[in-house]
Structure 1
Amino acid sequence: MLNTTMNLTNEKEIEEILLNIVKGAYDQIKYDAMLLYIDKDELNIMVATEHHEEFQEAIKCNFILDEGNDIMDEKGYYQLLRELQAEFTSMYKECGLFDFFLKGSYEVNGEKRFQDSDCIAPKGKFFAPFEDALLVVH
């Protein structure tokens, strides 16, 4: 269930679309050793949905549209996207496809390091949020 202040008429549809975007992102990087930093807009809903017609149409169902089929309540639209951003980020953390690393101190190769941003990586690739913290998989 999405946590938004707006009562969405098609909440389940929007949730499914966002989860499919998350799964698609995983499919694109699952074989790569890649870290995505949450606080650096690498999981930005605006970027992920900008040209996603199904998402755009699903969002429009919740607003009054003008003659050009554009959302009239621009402020409400951006408020909804800000709220959905938090949900989108949570989906990455909770879907089970990614490892989530909190910002903080980690030990890598005997050296204490600090990561100043939360990040995610495809499950099982890293033991800490640094490029050289790869897990050896046999």
Structure 2
Amino acid sequence: MLKTTKKLVNEQEIIDILQSIVKKSYDEIKDEEVLLCLECADVDLEIATSSHDEFQEAIKKNFELDEFGEILEYDDQRQLMYELYDYFIDLHISSGLFDFFPEGEYEVAGEKLLSDSDIIAPKGIFYAPFEHALKHK
């Protein structure tokens, strides 16, 4: 269930779309040695949905539109997108598709390293949030 200040008329539709975006993102990078910083806009809802027509239409169903089909309550829309961003990040972490490395200290090749950001990576590729912390090497 989404935690949003605005009651959504199509909550499950939005959840389903966001889940499909997460799955598609994983499918595109699942075999790559890539680390994604959660605080650095590597995982960004705005970018992921900016040209996703189905998502845009699903969001519009929750607002009053002008004669051009644009949302009238801009501030409410922005607030909803901020709230959905948090859910989008949580989806990546809880999906089972990515390994999550919270900020903190890790041991890599016998050396203690500090990660100052939360990081995700395709499941099973890294054992710590650093480029040289590959599981197969």
- What TM bracket, shorter-length normalisation? over 0.9
Q: Does 1:73 pair with 2:73?
A: yes
Number of residue pairs matched?
137
Q: CA deviation at 1:42?
A: 1.0
For normalisation by structure 1, the TM-score amounts to 0.98
1:92-103 to structure 2, matched below 5 A, reads: 92-103=92-103
1:1-138 to structure 2, matched below 5 A, reads: 1-136=1-136
Q: Secondary structure at the match of 2:8?
A: coil
Q: CA deviation at 1:55?
A: 0.1
Q: Moved runs in structure 1, 4+ residues, more than 3 A?
A: none
Q: CA deviation at 1:128?
A: 0.2
Q: Matched residues in 2 for 1:126 and 1:36: separation?
A: 12
For normalisation by structure 2, the TM-score amounts to 0.99
Residue 25 of structure 1 aligns to which amino acid in structure 2? Answer: S
5+ long unaligned stretches in structure 1 = none
Q: Secondary structure at the match of 2:75?
A: helix
Residue 120 of structure 1 aligns to which amino acid in structure 2? Answer: I
Residue 99 of structure 2 aligns to which amino acid in structure 1? Answer: D
Aligned-pair identity (%): 50
5+ long unaligned stretches in structure 2 = none
Q: Secondary structure at the match of 2:39?
A: helix
Residue 34 of structure 1 aligns to which amino acid in structure 2? Answer: V
Q: CA deviation at 1:136?
A: 1.2
Q: CA deviation at 1:43?
A: 1.0
Q: Matched residues in 1 for 2:78 and 2:113: separation?
A: 37
Superposition RMSD on alpha carbons, in Å? 0.8
Q: Matched residues in 2 for 1:8 and 1:24: separation?
A: 24
